Structure 1
Amino acid sequence: MYAFLSEEWIKAYADEWNRNEKLRSDLKDFSARIKYYIEGSEDRAVELVVENGVAKSVGLANSHSYDFELWASLENWKKMASGDMGPKAAMLTKRLKFKGSMITAMKYMGAFEESLRMMGRIPTNWNL
């Protein structure tokens, strides 16, 4: 079990990402630096760097600029990971906050949704 959005968790997430052939294929023309965090805890954010659909590096977020930032309450992250709330619905209702190119996000919406649903496959300790 990994503490949600810990450095160990984001490494396991990147491994899951790279095992997902459909996700990598759908994102073969997508590269971005993505920051994830729990609302109110931006100082404990993690990052995922994607190059041509492949998760290339992960770790604790730093002062880099990010192409995308995603944040939500712990409860809403948990709902998305469990499938109780869909990623698109979470974005539209602002339960999942988002910073970055909306045009790019819409272009890759299916892959974006899959990447968020995939969070539920990581053995996660939600008691932070």
Structure 2
Amino acid sequence: MHKFLSEDWIKAYKEEWNKNQKLKEELKDFSASIKYYIEGKEGDAVHLIVKNGEAVEAGKADSMDYDFELWASLDNWKRLATGDMGPKAALLTKRLKFKGSMITAMKYMSAFEESLKMMGNIPTDWDIK
């Protein structure tokens, strides 16, 4: 079990990402740095660096400027990971906050949705203090 959005969790997520051939194929022309965090806990953010569809680095976020930032309440992250809420609906209702190129996000919406659904594959401890 990994504490949600901990350094261990994002490293497990990176492994899960790289096992997903469909995702990597859809993102073969996509490279970006992505920061994830729980609303109000930006200081505990983690990041994933993607190059040509492959996750090449995962760990604690630093002060660099990220191409994309995603944040939500713990409850909404859990609803996304368990499939109780779809990624598009989460974005449209602002339950999942997003910073970055919306044009790029729309271009890769199918892969974006896949990457968020994949979060449910990580053995997660949601008990965050």
TM-score tier after normalising by the smaller chain length? over 0.9
Which residue does 2:113 correspond to in 1? 113
Partner residue in 2 for 1:50: 50
Q: What RMSD in Å do the two structures reach over aligned CA positions?
A: 0.2
Say yes or no: does 1:122 pair with 2:122.
yes
Identify unmatched segments of 5+ residues in structure 2.
Answer: none
Q: What residue in structure 2 maps to residue 70 of structure 1?
A: 70
Moved over 2 A (4+): none
The gaps in structure 1 that reach 5 residues or longer are none
1:42 to partner: Cα distance: 0.1
Displacement of 1:110: 0.1
Structure 2 CA distance, aligned partners of 1:88 and 1:113? Answer: 7
- State the partner residue of 1:14: 14
Letter in 2 for 1:80: L
Shift of 1:9: 0.1
Q: Residues of 2 paired with 1:76 and 1:34: CA distance?
A: 18
In 2, Cα distance between the equivalents of 1:26 and 1:5? Answer: 24
Q: Distance in 2 between matches of 1:88 and 1:38?
A: 18
**What residue in structure 2 maps to residue 93 of structure 1?**
93
Deviations 1:94-117 (A, max 9, x none): 000000000000000000000000
Taking the aligned partners of 1:65 and 1:54, their CA distance within structure 2 comes to: 20
Q: Percent identity?
A: 72
Query: Amino acid of the residue matched to residue 17 of structure 1?
Result: W
Q: Partners of 2:110 and 2:116 in 1: how far apart?
A: 10
Query: Secondary structure of the residue that 2:62 maps to in structure 1?
Result: coil
Aligned-pair distance for 1:84?
0.2
* SS of 1:114 mapped into structure 2: helix
Distance across 2 between alignment mates of 1:80 and 1:86? 6
Equivalent pairs counted in the alignment come to 128
How far apart, in 2, do the equivalents of 1:116 and 1:65 lie?
21
Match of 1:35 in 2: 35
TM-fit CA distance, 1:11: 0.2
Q: Does 1:60 align with 2:65?
A: no
